[in-house]
Chain A
């Protein structure tokens, strides 16, 4: 059977509300899974797979552990779908202030929502930020990069055999430093090998980040997590050439990215989905539909008595 785009969004939002999420976060999560559906064709089935434990997710259990060079979110052992939007929102806010934002949130050892995490780069791109999403659990690792473009951000990604070098460095930085280590410590951590008093130029930092984002390494600790990096290309610190560095990386065919989503291709894909709908198994729809009905009050006597208790004819 086919569902319209609107139905996919509405059903997903309702499922999160039925599970106890507030309307705002529920809508944000629905948009994330819709993104996964549009880019990978798996968003709705991911929702279906989550139904059994959706009620155990709790957005309000997220807390901010630290908020300095790298902000750290404690997600309380919840899957990435719960922290993906708060992380990118926080990261964008840090980037708008400092030019660069970095946020780390732990993931489960085997996180069934990894395919949705790239939505961060899309959302940040729509807001005008360049972004990198670096993730790793015990079975998969990957990188998604987004650059603002029209009509959609330009997205590229790499699936890696092990954690990326950039991911490993940032996670090491999180675990080895204390609060307030300073921006220069972060930059040095990102640009291993840089010596002396002079910090490398920001575009060099970005270039190293990108290079390391597609280079697999065998890290000392297998820490699972999601690292979000946002750069404000209009910020004075990053205005000089950073965007060009990222654009040439995402457009180059030899930079290690294995999958590309050109804005025009995505526009065509979205148009096709709008026109034809999304094909789903009837049994999958049935379960999601029934779960989503949890936002509706059960049948009761008043159901048949008009709109409300004292506004009837």
Chain B
């Protein structure tokens, strides 16, 4: 390991082995970091002091109306067009499949003309067939949270809402998804030049998530104001404390398995940052800073009452273990002992605490040393290029299987339950689904996300051919293997490309991979609703438009629940 402060130097061999990191249980434990997209978006917005305000429109006492939010950056202007609505009771499900939503909106380049607003009002509710234009970056549809009405009622009665109720979910509005990058005719990610402020991965989605938060505050306040001349506005501290809700299901499994190059790129960047930070022996000031963050995080986990069910480490347990780290710290970093690096603390955590807490620690030490992520943001964009290598011999291909796909070959596909599920998409909004093999219809619609099974079938067929034959010759006779061969030949050298799991297995927990991607995106809270569906919160504690405008770059993660104030009770 290199010496202290050489933050850019790390031993590539010290990065976590994929046999550890790429296990679903480990991936499920990952937490947001400085390299998560939501945080990168927020950093950019505050650093460049974006000016975000409503440029036209508003909402009535039922929250119905249209509005356009203008987003001014130093080089571009964007707009967020919103159609706010009052959905019929029971019509919104929080899923892609729904008959109605409380809002739908779009993020676009420039300023949308009234005609575009009219057209998009009609098109956005058509989930599969609706058409955006190439100026539109993102489509979203959302719903009000269960505390939304309470907030409106409270404000209309001239007092602040019950903070305990708000704290449970942590948001007023929740989206069921963000659609862009060419879907429904939206602008393609590749069409954005490098100088486009949203050219980084998922930046347009993250901005839309943040805007949905602002929309939620506005609509609640205006509904209250329309109902009562004495209505209060939502307190600044409460607004800061609330984020945007998110609901995610098993569609993410298709995504993470079908984009191995992206997964590798994003995971590797955070592992490199971790590798760098572990080489640092912190100063006493840095230890103090870490202690302060640890205290914030402990309180935040302690206050989170959401039920993690059996899928995640309980929030209370993480809080307990963070306190153990706090107690360990003085002995770890005693002034009487030689300076020790973060690596030792990470190792102690690994030896003694749960994976969830280990990953919180990783996130926190990265926050103490933001410089270790320098340059890594630029590595997050990758072109997913893929092709077969037809001249490779089958002997060479077999060797790749043995060396890089041993994990897949070692899965016993003859075990009962190992092929219980099949994955497919329904014509209802293309929602992904799981069926039970042999019991349910539609097995013929199965999607090929069974990497381990495909590898095993490939190996079986390879054994029937001469090792000197080439891939080109082999595929002529076995076209069914073209997809898996192309994948292996493209990503075999990327250690974090393949998730070492079998999604067909009866014991497979989709939530683990959903949680992983959400951490990469930057979700903070995650509340599993089932083993394939999670709700969560983005941007809790994040700057508001007024903070962004003045470039407030203070630390916003793990926000404290606001204390009740006298003025909350009304005038």
Contact = CB atoms under 8 A, between A and B. Distances in A.
Nearest to A304: B97
Contact of A93 (B183, B191, B472): B472
Contact of A313 (B187, B473, B533): B533
Given A306-B533, A311-B250, A89 B185 contact: no
Contacts of B470: 93-94, 96-97
A6 B129 CA distance: 15
Question: Which 3 A-B residue pairings sit nearest by Cβ, starting from the closest?
Answer: A96-B391, A24-B482, A93-B472
Interface stretch (A55-63, A106-114, A210-218, A241-249): A55-63
B188 interface: yes
Contacts of A25: 479, 482
Interface in B160-213: 181-183, 185-188, 190-191
B477 interface: yes
Contacts of B185: 1-4, 7, 277
Q: Which of A23, A302, A306 has the most CB of B within 10 A?
A: A306
A1 B187 CA distance: 14
Given A296-B430, A304-B97, A313-B530, A89 B390 contact: yes
A37 to B, nearest CB: 14
B188 A311 contact: no
A299 B428 contact: yes
B473 A90 contact: yes
Interface in B459-493: 470-473, 475-477, 479-486
A239 to B, nearest CB: 16
Interface residues of A, number: 58
A307 B473 CA distance: 40
Nearest to A1: B131
B532 A308 contact: yes
Interface in B432-458: 432-436, 440-442, 445, 448
B37 interface: no
B476 A295 contact: no
Interface string B238-263: 00000000000110000000000000
B434 A86 contact: no
Given A92-B472, A271-B191, A303-B427, 9 more contacts: A6-B181, A86-B479, A89-B390, A95-B391, A297-B427, A302-B433, A303-B431, A307-B250, A307-B433
B482 A275 contact: no
B249 A86 contact: no
Contact of B441 (A62, A96, A295, A300): A300
Given A89-B390, A93-B472, A95-B391, A307 B532 contact: yes
B300 interface: no
Contact of A309 (B186, B390, B428, B436): B436
B446 to A, nearest CB: 10
Contacts of A269: none
Contacts of B250: 307-308, 311
Contact of A23 (B129, B432, B483): B483
Contact of B134 (A277, A296, A308): A277
Interface of B: 95, 97, 129, 131, 133-134, 181-183, 185-188, 190-191, 249-250, 387-391, 421, 424-428, 430-436, 440-442, 445, 448, 470-473, 475-477, 479-486, 510, 529-533
| Main DSSP-derived SS at the A contact region | helix
Contacts of B480: 22, 24, 60
Contacts of A297: 424-427, 433, 441-442, 445
A143 B434 CA distance: 48
Contact of B473 (A2, A64, A289, A312): A64
Q: Counting chain A CB atoms within 10 Å of each CB, which of B249, B390, B440 scores highest?
A: B390
A171 to B, nearest CB: 20
Contacts of A28: 482
A181 interface: no
A159 interface: no
Contacts of A62: 476, 479
A6 B181 CA distance: 8
A299 B476 contact: no
A293 interface: yes
Interface of A: 1-7, 21-25, 27-28, 59-60, 62-64, 67, 73, 86, 89-97, 123, 126-127, 271, 274-277, 289, 293, 295-300, 302-304, 306-313
A308 B390 contact: no
B529 A313 contact: yes
A88 to B, nearest CB: 8
A305 to B, nearest CB: 9
A7 B179 CA distance: 13
Q: State the majority secondary structure of interface residues on B.
A: mixed
A1 B132 CA distance: 10
A289 B185 CA distance: 13
B503 to A, nearest CB: 11
Contacts of A312: 530, 533
Contacts of B428: 299, 303-304
20 contacts: A2-B185, A7-B182, A22-B479, A24-B482, A24-B484, A63-B477, A64-B473, A64-B476, A67-B473, A96-B390, A127-B387, A271-B191, A275-B187, A296-B426, A303-B431, A307-B433, A309-B435, A311-B532, A313-B530, A313-B533
Most buried by B among A3, A59, A309: A309
A1 B134 CA distance: 11
Nearest to B428: A303
Contacts of B442: 297-298, 300
Given A6-B188, A307-B250, A93 B97 contact: no
A308 B133 CA distance: 33
Contacts of A296: 424-427, 430, 445
Nearest to A293: B427
A23 B530 CA distance: 30
A94 B472 contact: yes
Contacts of A3: 185
B191 A311 contact: no
A97 B188 CA distance: 39
A307 B472 contact: no
Given A307-B532, A311-B532, A299 B391 contact: no
